[in-house]
């Protein structure tokens, strides 16, 4: 140390020593004191007491047929004195739900009540009620139930603005894990806008480390104000138990589904862009001179769609919706789908390295009479349920570029169509050289016996030609 600084340092050290000696012992250790009784009682209990009565257990039951092949053998049935058909069996599933309306409106997951013939809910106060299914939205894995006792009023949880959440916020998860009864766990928001989870069509989840286990599905994720920020939906697990990675559907998406149910709709109506989007890869970003691989690249625009009317073109990169950043197509789908119908949304996009803005109308995709039917005649389509395609149905099925024709909605297990590999979403373009426009055309052509069937099917945006023997 240079001599000129030594006296100053010595004086400072002496002053600090004198000050320390002059302070009382209690003051020196004030950061290591014993907490008071009131501080020891700090708890999440007030929040839990307020919201727990609005979280319910959901019990779903469905009747299935036992299909042991031996039951179809008349000799076997006669020998053992058994009736045909193999009998019935009741399958039960268990999950959670959240009351979001005092009249008895409940939100849960579709996979909790899928295929159910009977649904019951049990409240925290042990009351049980039958519930009806008001709406199922498979694209979000959200379902809305209504308690059939219309005379009672029920506790409910208000929904928060989930966009206000931040990583690190404390959250509580309430549900019925493993059927042991209502359970509360706590944690933090681990991540936001998770878009590569692969659970629903709308990949935009809240990730939390609050322990979530089987049976928590459909339960509440609440913030420290006691408001609903999400519906617990899935866990990442190799063992079936919680490993600290759980996913919840944001409340802003839940609100869209609930509002559709309140309006008396049997399906959720959402804004339609009318354009196909794809991710911006590092190679695409380099070729376009972008600073980073982010945004949603417009790959195709349908004529007369809201995107076309707003002036969007293939090659544009959408980077924002109403000022909120868009990092990938999944983020855009969520941001756009949570906008209320009517009015417009401000879209920010890049074109040729420059930033532009456009107003996109918030309107539903046009629909046509679907004329759904199941093909029964002997043909490759036997057992396939088909419908007339429209922009609305194409959007619902997430089909690329398809706005006209006939699409397969479902395939009966064990049917001829199932054995040939037909799938939901396959578009039937041609049969024996004839283009198919309507379901009745397909039904008529399929009813004519043929030794050979030449088909053109569109799957995943690609045409597939196939030949089958009659």
CATH of the domain at 438: 2.30.42.10
Helix (H) or strand (E) holding 146: strand 142-147
- Do 70 and 103 belong together in one domain? yes
Distance CA 371, CA 407 (A): 11
Tens digits of pLDDT across the chain (470 residues): 444 333 333 333 333 344 444 444 444 444 556 667 666 567 888 899 999 999 999 998 876 555 555 455 555 454 545 455 555 555 576 889 999 999 999 999 998 888 888 899 999 888 999 999 999 998 888 999 999 877 788 999 999 999 899 999 999 999 887 777 788 998 899 888 766 665 566 677 888 888 887 778 889 999 999 999 999 987 665 555 556 688 899 999 999 999 989 888 778 889 999 998 999 999 999 888 888 899 999 998 988 899 999 999 999 999 999 999 999 898 999 899 999 999 999 999 999 889 999 999 999 998 889 999 999 988 999 999 999 998 888 888 888 766 678 999 999 998 989 998 999 999 999 999 899 999 999 999 999 888 889 999 998 878 888 888 75
Q: Does 27 reside within a domain?
A: no
Based on the fold, state whether residues 394 and 442 are members of the same structural domain: yes
E strands, 67-127, where? 88-101, 105-109, 118-122
Whether residue 431 is contained in a domain is answered as yes
Structural domain includes residue 380: yes
Domain match, 313 and 235 both: no
- Predicted confidence at residue 308, as pLDDT, reads 95
pLDDT the model gives residue 243: 60
How far from the centroid of its chain's Cα atoms is residue 351's Cα? 31
Q: Same domain, yes or no, for 310 and 378?
A: no
Of 93, 111, 379, 395, the active-site residue reads 111
- CA nearest to 94, candidates 179, 209, 157, 204: 179
Q: How many CB atoms lie within 10 A of CB 287?
A: 9
Distance CA 425, CA 464 (A): 13
Asked if residue 26 is part of any domain, the answer here is no
User: Does 10 reside within a domain?
Assistant: no
- How many domains is the chain partitioned into structurally? 4
186 noted as active-site residue: no
pLDDT in the model for residue 245: 80
Pick the catalytic residue from 137, 141, 209, 316. Answer: 141
pLDDT at 88: 59
Q: Is 326 a member of any domain? A: yes
SS3 state at 188: strand
Q: Which domain covers residue 319, as residue numbers?
A: 275-361
Q: Residue 110: helix, strand or coil by DSSP?
A: helix
CATH number reported for the structural domain that contains residue 71 in this entry: 2.40.10.10
11 domain residue, yes or no = no
**Residue 217 falls in the annotated catalytic set:** yes
SS3 assignment, position 138: coil
Residue by residue, DSSP assigns 435-464 as: EP-SHHHHHHHHTS--SEEEEEEEETTEEE
Catalytic residue among 217, 379, 382, 390: 217
75 and 135 in a common domain: yes
Q: Measured between alpha carbons, how far is 457 from 468 in angstroms, rounded to an integer?
A: 13
Q: Is residue 39 part of a domain?
A: no
Nearest-angstrom CA–CA distance, 283 and 211: 39
Catalytic status, residue 163? no
Q: CB of 137 within 8 A of CB of 110?
A: yes
pLDDT at 22: 46
CA–CA separation, 381 and 290 (whole Å)? 47
């Amino acid at each position: 140390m240079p001599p000129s600084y030594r006296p100053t340092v010595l004086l400072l050290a002496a002053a600090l020593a004198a000050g320390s000696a002059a302070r009382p012992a209690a003051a020196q250790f004030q950061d290591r004191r014993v907490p008071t009784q009131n501080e020891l009682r700090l708890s999440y209990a007030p929040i839990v007491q307020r919201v727990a009565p609005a979280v319910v257990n959901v019990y779903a039951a469905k009747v299935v047929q036992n299909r042991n092949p031996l039951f179809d053998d008349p000799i076997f049935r006669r020998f053992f004195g058994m009736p045909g058909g193999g009998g019935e069996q009741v399958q039960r599933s268990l999950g959670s739900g959240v009351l979001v309306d005092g009249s008895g409106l409940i939100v849960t997951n579709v996979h909790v009540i899928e295929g159910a013939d009977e649904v019951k809910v049990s409240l925290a106060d042990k009351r049980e009620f039958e519930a009806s299914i008001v709406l199922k939205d498979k694209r979000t894995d959200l379902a809305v139930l209504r308690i059939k006792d219309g005379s009672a009023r029920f506790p409910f949880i208000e929904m928060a603005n989930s966009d206000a959440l931040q990583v690190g916020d404390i959250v509580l998860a309430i549900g019925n894990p493993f059927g042991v009864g209502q359970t509360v766990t706590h944690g933090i928001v681990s991540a936001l806008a998770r878009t590569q989870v692969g659970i629903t069509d709308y990949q935009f989840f809240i990730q939390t480390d609050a322990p979530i286990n089987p049976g928590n599905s459909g339960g509440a994720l609440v913030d420290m104000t006691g408001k609903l920020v999400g519906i617990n939906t899935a866990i990442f697990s190799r063992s079936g138990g919680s490993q600290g990675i759980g996913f919840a559907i944001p409340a802003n998406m839940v609100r869209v589904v609930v509002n559709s149910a309140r309006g008396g709709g049997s399906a959720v109506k959402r804004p339609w862009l009318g354009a196909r989007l794809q991710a911006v890869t590092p190679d695409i970003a380099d070729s376009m001179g972008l600073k980073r691989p982010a945004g949603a690249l417009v790959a195709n625009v349908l004529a007369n769609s809201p995107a076309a009317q707003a002036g969007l073109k293939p090659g544009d990169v959408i980077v924002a919706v109403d000022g909120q950043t868009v990092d990938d197509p999944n983020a855009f789908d969520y941001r756009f789908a949570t906008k209320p119908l009517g009015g417009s949304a401000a879209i920010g996009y890049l074109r040729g390295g420059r930033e532009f803005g456009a107003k996109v109308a918030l309107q539903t995709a046009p629909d046509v009479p679907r004329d759904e039917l199941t093909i029964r005649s002997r043909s490759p389509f036997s057992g396939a349920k088909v419908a007339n395609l429209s922009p609305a149905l194409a959007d619902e099925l997430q089909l690329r570029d398809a706005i006209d024709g006939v699409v397969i909605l479902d395939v009966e297990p064990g049917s001829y169509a199932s054995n040939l590999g037909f799938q939901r979403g396959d578009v039937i373009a041609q049969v024996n050289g004839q283009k198919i426009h309507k379901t009745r055309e397909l039904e008529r052509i399929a009813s004519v016996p043929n030794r050979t069937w030449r088909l053109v099917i569109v799957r995943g945006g690609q045409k597939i030609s196939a030949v089958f023997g009659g």
